[in-house]
Amino acid sequence: MPAIAFSPELLRRYDRPGPRYTSYPTAPQFRGDFGEDELRAAALASNGDPIPRRLSIYGHMPFCVSPCFYCGCNRVITRDVARGEQYIERLCEEIDLTAPLFDRDREVVQLHLGGGTPNFFTPAQIGRLLSRLRERFSFAAAADLECSIELDPRFITADEVHALAAAGFNRASLGVQDFDPAVQEAINRVQGIKETRAIVDACRASGMGSVNIDLIYGLPRQERENFRRTLETVIEMRPDRLAIYGYAHMPKLFKAQKQIEAEELPSAEERLALLQLAISELGAAGYHHIGMDHFALPHDDLAQALERGSLQRNFMGYTTHAQTDLIGLGISAISQIGDTYSQNPRDLTGWQGAVENGRLPVFRGMRMSGDDQLRADVIQQLMCQGEVLIAPLERRHAIAFRSYFADALARLAPLVADGLVNVRHDRIRVSGHGRLLLRNIAMCFDRYLDQPVAILPPSFSRAI
C-alpha cells in the first residue's frame, strides 16, 4: 500500500475525539430507565424470531496484578487470589440467572474472555467457568465454535496455555503493545521478546488455531525507528491477526494515564506516521487491512469475511459472528439482544450485589429506535465494507436516502472535498485515505454528536 500523504493542516482538522463505533448508538447514550425487566422482555422477543439468532458470550475478567499506564479498560489491580475465586463464583451465579432467558436451541458460537487479565485466573478457575457455561447453554460443535481468551504473556506459562487449549479455547489474543524497552518503561509494562515468543509458540503447539497480537501506536517515547523494530519482531512471530490500537490519552477519565508524561507523547503527525508505517509494513508482510485497527493474514476468517463482504463489528471488535445476540457477563459487560443494548454495573459492589440478590445486574441500556437501527446499519457498512449501497439500504429501512440524510451528506461534504470518501448516485465509498479516518466518516451519520450527551460529557478518544 502506498504511503498516504496528509498535510498537517488536514490532520489537525480531523484529529478530534470520536467513538470507535463498536456499537451505535454508543454507550454514553444508554439510560438508567432500561433495566432488568426491559432486558427480560428483549430476550423473550429475541426467542420469538422465526430463526432466533445464535449467541455470543463475552465475559469480563477485570483483575490485573500490575497497572499498565495506558490502560482505559475497566480493571481492578490486585494480587489477592481470593478475590478471583469470589468473582468466578459470582460469574457462575450470573450465568445461572441469565441462561434461562434464552431458548436452549440457540447455540453459542462465540465465547470471548477479555479483561483486565483473564489469565489472572488459573486455568482451573477458567475451566470451571467454561463448564458452567456449557451446562447452562448449548454450545455449537467445536468446528463452529470460536472460543477465545486474552492473555498477558508475562503471567502465563506454556503448561497453562496447554491447559486452556484442553479446556476448549481455540484462539488466543496476546497483549504486546510495544517491544522497545524505553517505551515499555514509560507504560509500566516490561515484557521480553523471548517470553512472548514462547507463549506464541505454546499457543501454536497446543493446537489453538489462531493467535492475535495487540499493539498500540501513539505511546510515549514511540518513534518510527523503534516502532519499526517492534513491527518487525511481531511480524516474525507471524500472528494470524494483529490489532493496532491508537493510544487515547485521557488522564481525567483513566487515572493510570496520569503516570504518562504528556510531553513524551508523539504529535498528531507522528501518530499518523506510526499508523501508516504499521499499515505499510504489515501490508508488505502479507497482512490484509481489515479496517480501523485490525489486520489479518489472508487465510484467517476475518480476511476471508472481508473478501466475501460478510464482515461484522460488535463490542468485541471485528468479527465474523455479529449476526448473533451478544450476552455480556461480569462487571461493565455490555449485552446486545435484539434491538437493545444493556450494560452491567461498572463497579464490583454494584454487580455483585445484584447477582447475590438474584437480579440480572443491568444498570443502564437502551432500545434502538428505527432511526438508530438505520444509522447503525450505515455505520456498520462503512466500518466493515468500506461502502454503503444506497438502494438496498433504502429498501431495508423504507427511506429516501438523499432527503433522509441531507444533514449527514452536508457534514460529509468537506470529507468528500478532502478525498476521504466519495458519494455516487448508487453508493458511498471510503477511499484509501478515508480508511484511516473511518471514525470521522462515521461521525457524520451519528445523530447524537449534535446533541448534548445525556449522562457523561463526550469523552471519546482521538479519531486518529
Partner 1 sequence: MSAPAFPRSDVRILADDGDALHFCSTCAFSQACIAEGMHKHALLDLHVLVEHVGPLHAGEHIFREGDPFVAIAAVRAGTVKTYVIDPNGEEQVLGFHFPGEVIGLSAIDGDRFPCSAVALDTVMLCRFSFQKMALLATRVPGLQRQLFRLLSRDIGRATLLAGDWAADQRMAAFLLAMSRRLSERGFSAVRFQLTMARTDIANYLRLAPETVSRVLRRFQDDGLLVIERREVEIVDQPRLNALAGPVLRD
Give the range of 42-50, 236-244, 259-267, 412-420 binding partner 1 by CB under 8 A: 42-50
Give the separation between CA 41 and CA 204, rounded to whole angstroms: 43
Say which residues have a Cβ less than 8 Å from residue 241's Cβ, sequence separation at least 6.
173, 210, 211, 212, 213, 294, 295, 296, 297, 300, 302
Give the nearer residue to partner 1 in terms of CB position, either 400 or 406.
Answer: 400
Say which residues have a Cβ less than 8 Å from residue 81's Cβ, sequence separation at least 6.
none
**Set of cell numbers at residue 231:** 513491527
Give the separation between CA 225 and CA 221, rounded to whole angstroms: 11
**Could you tell me the end-to-end alpha-carbon distance of the chain, in angstroms, rounded to an integer?**
18
Give the range of 51-59, 216-224, 342-350, 378-386 binding partner 1 by CB under 8 A: 51-59
Specify whether the CB–CB gap between 336 and 315 falls below 8 A. Answer: yes
Residues 94-123 that bind partner 1 (CB under 8 A): 103, 105
Using the structure block, give the residue that is written with the C-alpha cell 506464541: 200
Q: Is 309 in the site for partner 1 (CB under 8 A)?
A: no
Give the nearer residue to partner 1 in terms of CB position, either 49 or 261.
Answer: 49
What is the DSSP secondary structure assignment for residue 19, as one 8-state letter? -
b (16+ CB within 10 A) / e for 126-152: bbbbbebbeebbebbeeeeebbbbbbb
Strands 146-151 and 171-177: parallel
Cβ burial, residue 79 (10 Å; 0-12/13-18/19+): exposed
Q: Is 458 in the site for partner 1 (CB under 8 A)?
A: no
Integer Rg of the chain from CA: 21
Specify whether the CB–CB gap between 22 and 315 falls below 8 A. Answer: yes
**Set of cell numbers at residue 244:** 493496532
Q: Is 49 in the site for partner 1 (CB under 8 A)?
A: yes
What is the DSSP secondary structure assignment for residue 213, as one 8-state letter? E
Say which residues have a Cβ less than 8 Å from residue 409's Cβ, sequence separation at least 6.
402, 423, 444
Q: Is 266 in the site for partner 1 (CB under 8 A)?
A: no
Q: Binder to partner 1 among 2, 9, 33, 51 (CB under 8 A)? A: 51
Q: Is 298 in the site for partner 1 (CB under 8 A)?
A: no
**Number of residues assigned to the chain:** 464
Give the range of 45-53, 228-236, 341-349, 400-408 binding partner 1 by CB under 8 A: 45-53
Give the separation between CA 386 and CA 379, rounded to whole angstroms: 9
Residues 396-435 that bind partner 1 (CB under 8 A): 398
Minimum distance from CB of 53 to partner 1 (Å)?
Answer: 8
Give the nearer residue to partner 1 in terms of CB position, either 47 or 188.
Answer: 47
Minimum distance from CB of 240 to partner 1 (Å)?
Answer: 28
Give the separation between CA 218 and CA 464, rounded to whole angstroms: 9
Give the nearer residue to partner 1 in terms of CB position, either 96 or 103.
Answer: 103
Residues 315-374 that bind partner 1 (CB under 8 A): 338, 370
Give the separation between CA 209 and CA 171, rounded to whole angstroms: 6
Residue 456 burial (CB count, 10 A): 9
Give the nearer residue to partner 1 in terms of CB position, either 45 or 253.
Answer: 45
Give the nearer residue to partner 1 in terms of CB position, either 107 or 281.
Answer: 107
Minimum distance from CB of 307 to partner 1 (Å)?
Answer: 21
Give the nearer residue to partner 1 in terms of CB position, either 5 or 398.
Answer: 398
Q: Binder to partner 1 among 28, 35, 52, 432 (CB under 8 A)? A: 52
Give the range of 41-49, 142-150, 237-245, 279-287 binding partner 1 by CB under 8 A: 41-49
Give the nearer residue to partner 1 in terms of CB position, either 145 or 399.
Answer: 399
Q: Is 144 in the site for partner 1 (CB under 8 A)?
A: no
Residue 260 burial (CB count, 10 A): 21
Give the range of 43-51, 64-72, 143-151, 159-167 binding partner 1 by CB under 8 A: 43-51
Minimum distance from CB of 309 to partner 1 (Å)?
Answer: 15
Q: Is 48 in the site for partner 1 (CB under 8 A)?
A: yes
Give the nearer residue to partner 1 in terms of CB position, either 103 or 269.
Answer: 103
Q: Which x/- pattern, by CB under 8 A, does the window 213-242 give for partner 1?
A: ------------------------------
Give the nearer residue to partner 1 in terms of CB position, either 226 or 373.
Answer: 373
Closest CA to 141 of 54, 206, 202, 210: 54
What is the DSSP secondary structure assignment for residue 312, as one 8-state letter? E
Minimum distance from CB of 40 to partner 1 (Å)?
Answer: 14
Minimum distance from CB of 104 to partner 1 (Å)?
Answer: 9
Give the range of 48-56, 145-153, 164-172, 262-270 binding partner 1 by CB under 8 A: 48-56
Strands 171-177 and 210-217: parallel
Q: Binder to partner 1 among 11, 35, 38, 47 (CB under 8 A)? A: 47
Residues of the shown chain interacting with partner 1 in the complex, contacts defined by CB under 8 A: 45, 47-53, 103, 105, 338, 370, 398
